[in-house]
Amino acid sequence: MISIVLTSSVILQAKKSMPNPNKTCFFPEPDESRRYGFGSDFVANEKYLAVGHTGLNKVIIYTSDDSGQWSRTREIRPPVDLAFDREGSTFGNGLELDGDILTISARIRNPDIPRDNLSPSQAANTPFTYSYRRYLINLKTETEVQPIDLLVQREPESNLVRFNLLRQGKIEQFVLPDMGEEHFGTHHGANSFYGSNVAVHENLLLVGYSSSYDETGGAWLFNLAQPEAEPLKMAVGDVAMGSTVALSQQFAAVSFHGITWYFPRSNAPRKSPKTLIANLNNGSTTVINSFGELSLSGNILAVMRPGRGCGEVVYPILEVFRIDEDTTPHLIIRRKNVSRAKVQNVFLIFLHYNGSRVCIEPLP
């Protein structure tokens, strides 16, 4: 088995970042601002910016012209037959963009469990159940969204997992072993709706995994050109990671999204969360203490550190690093007024902390 296992870490000093004069911000329309959910997810390339609004179950598309000016051009709605009248059903997360092709994920609350024979306390403690959907649309045409397979689907009674990947403007399917991991490529069953711990770049596929007991984990790196070849394992001993991954042509990163750090599911001792960065060309690696939702654009790594609203308030922090050949990270942006962010296709996209606007700017 090929693996990367590390125990050391790098402590980084923050430095103040300057505002980008080329930043463009988009505000929700008056009727959109009355419902929470604007900026629930977003993706961008040089042509499109797609912004989810799960409060209104739609995706808003902004288009860039030849001069780089952005304008709002259309809205994408879910199929009319979905049960969005049930509270908790939402459309507009899990966005992926490849050229003109956009995929969108949805969560549908299943019909209520019969509660006639339940006591009031039992009924109150009986959770709702959900199913998940995924859709594809060509932004260059006026066609409606079309249903497609979920990003990650475990084969029944098997150790195989099917990945339905958006590559080169179409969905390609790969069936790979789960490497003995229970939660392989999903956030404990939520698939791509909350953002996936799956990243793909050209012929490389990085699949995260983590334990439902203590959040320890890592990731497996597959070569899709040789799917039968032994994958590379990326992990750090006794560290919380694997619930978020990022990949570019040269670098891979694995971290811990942080959600269950503040809302643990078990009495297991908490493991220290960290981020592992690897140079895929020369094998150099670094572990940093910063953790959170990851994204990569070339050698630029974004870490969206989670916040906490109960007890001692902790605000989310965006940290953006430039990675050297030896995987030494240099902090180039640090912002506290951001609740969600990612780097993608040489852009930094982020949601302002109060949800008032989504902004996009070229990376420095």
Name the region of 88 (left: φ>0; alpha: ψ -120 to 50; beta: rest). left
How many Cβ atoms are within 10 Å of 244's Cβ, its own excluded?
A: 28
Residue 88 forms part of a structural domain: yes
What pLDDT score does 12 carry?
47
* Contact assessment for residue 295 and residue 248, using Cβ atoms and an 8 Å cutoff: no
Q: Which contiguous run of DSSP H or E holds residue 31?
A: helix 30-33
* Contact assessment for residue 187 and residue 243, using Cβ atoms and an 8 Å cutoff: yes
Residue 119 forms part of a structural domain: no
Non-local CB neighbours of 301 within 8 Å, separated by 6+ positions = 246, 251, 253, 277, 294, 295, 320, 321, 323, 329, 343
What pLDDT score does 109 carry?
85
Residue 22 forms part of a structural domain: no
**Which pair of structure tokens corresponds to residue 363?**
């990376």
* Integer angstrom CA distances of residue 8 from 5, 238, 261, 285: 10, 12, 21, 10
DSSP 109-127: EPPPPP-TTS-HHHHHTS-
Residue 164 forms part of a structural domain: yes
**What CATH code is carried by the domain that includes residue 311?**
2.130.10
The whole domain housing 215 covers: 2-17+27-114+124-358
* Contact assessment for residue 308 and residue 284, using Cβ atoms and an 8 Å cutoff: no
What pLDDT score does 268 carry?
56
* Contact assessment for residue 273 and residue 238, using Cβ atoms and an 8 Å cutoff: no
What pLDDT score does 311 carry?
60
Residues of the chain with pLDDT under 50: 1-2, 5-17, 188-191, 193, 260-265
> Token pair 């992926």 is at which residue?
96
Residue 145 forms part of a structural domain: yes
* Contact assessment for residue 28 and residue 358, using Cβ atoms and an 8 Å cutoff: no
CA–CA gap between residue 95 and residue 253 (Å, rounded): 20
* Contact assessment for residue 92 and residue 57, using Cβ atoms and an 8 Å cutoff: yes
What pLDDT score does 115 carry?
58
* Integer angstrom CA distances of residue 298 from 11, 96, 190, 323: 22, 17, 28, 9
Q: Reading across the β-sheet that carries 251-255, which strands appear in turn?
A: 244-247, 251-255, 275-279, 285-288
CA–CA gap between residue 269 and residue 216 (Å, rounded): 11
Q: Read off the pLDDT of residues 34-88 as tens digits, 9 standing for 90 and up.
A: 788 999 999 999 999 999 999 999 999 999 999 999 999 999 999 887 677 777 7
Residue 76 forms part of a structural domain: yes
Residue ranges of alpha helices (H) inside 183-321 are 259-262
What pLDDT score does 262 carry?
45
Query: Alpha-carbon Rg of the chain, whole angstroms?
Result: 20
Residue 363 forms part of a structural domain: no
Q: What's the full length of the chain, in residues?
A: 364
pTM attached to this predicted model: 0.88
Count of domains forming the chain:
1
What pLDDT score does 149 carry?
95
Residue 364 forms part of a structural domain: no
What pLDDT score does 114 carry?
64
